Amino acid sequence: MKIILVPMISFVIFSRYTDAIVMKKVILTAATSKGAVCLDGSPPGYYIRTGTTSPNNWILHQEGGGWCFNEDQCVLRSKTDLGSSKGWPPNVTYSGLLSDDCTVNPDFCGWSMVYIGYCDGASFSGNVENPVNWKGTTLYFRGARILEVVINAVLEAAGDNIEHIILTGCSAGGLATYLHADYVRSKVPSQIPVHAIADAGYFLDAPNVNGEMHIRERYQYVYKMQNCTGGVNQDCIAANPTEEWKCFMAQYTYPHITTPIFLLNSRYDTYQINFILQLHCHAPNCSTDQMKEFMKYGNEFLVAAAPAITSKSNGVYIDSCQIHCQSLKEIPWSKFIVGGQTMRDTFNAWLTNSTAMKSKVVDCAYPCNPTCLLNS
């Protein structure tokens, strides 16, 4: 029997308030002269905190928040903080990987931190030259320009003493990490190490419960609508000349990324289960047939993530918790355990080439991991 589906939600608004670190807003007003603007034409910006013990080491986090899958959704989005910088607060706070609490984040608590505001609706990838008038509203698709001006501004702020960069992001920002890791790498001198950790950005090109490739169609439309050809991994574009849209998806971009990158994801990511698989239940409160689909998707995720799992150089942390975005939350970052290791310790082991711990761990199938309950 075919399952009746509810309409797909176009984007998720992530709160800029959690706990710990305070970061101050920087709005790049001059960027408007370069056409680098949010959906509504307002200037882009970022939040910054200078590090204490390691101020020359930088973490650059790209905000998440889904996508607008068509012009109507982009109009709605342009009236929110995910499409306009007009309402952004002067300060924000975050935990996990961006925390200054060394009990939560011992390896990076003293680093300088940047949180890049997301207001373009296409993971910082679009570049349409002329404004788009849609039903009386003017839209700007300029995400690639936003990323360029922000990275330039951050590198200028960092100065000549910069020693290390980690690019990261969750959700749409996690996808952006896959898409732009090599671009950021190209912006800094080769002697400066650049690494990436992509959180919850490995969205599958997979069918829903009715066998429909609906998510593919949506990504294809975003890619075309926002003219993302020049704003994604160019080696991927060269490898897919007749299917460029694939380069807007992590599983097709991943094999072309040359920057060292760490995959952080749940194999039962709640966003993917709800909006890609379109299975609207939370295990174990699902029917027998729904649980079959749920478990099947977890296996499909591992198959799609095989290039990362089998990579000889990149890192992996795949848990079986029902969650979306983990690196900015204290409990997942420092207390979830897979293979006897937390994600923060696994990431650091990979980053430092430590042999004390594994740099790649993959969880067993749901519901095997009791530490997932810590987040409930």
Catalytic residue numbers?
A: 171, 269, 324
Residue 2 CB contacts under 8 Å (≥ 6 apart), including other chains = 210
342 phi, psi to nearest 5 deg: -80, 165
User: Count of residues for the chain?
Assistant: 376
- DSSP strand pairing (137-139 vs 164-170): unpaired
At 26, is the secondary structure helix, strand, or coil? strand
Residue identified by tokens 């690019």 is: 167
Give the CA distances from residue 36 to residues 22, 41, 279, 333, in Å, rounded to whole numbers and listed in that order. Answer: 26, 8, 38, 33
Nearest to 41 by CA among 29, 58, 53: 29
Sheet containing strand 91-94, edge to edge, reads 91-94, 21-27, 45-49, 111-116, 54-62, 164-170, 194-199, 261-266, 315-319, 360-362
Q: How far apart are CA 203 and CA 254, in angstroms?
A: 12
- DSSP strand pairing (164-170 vs 54-62): parallel
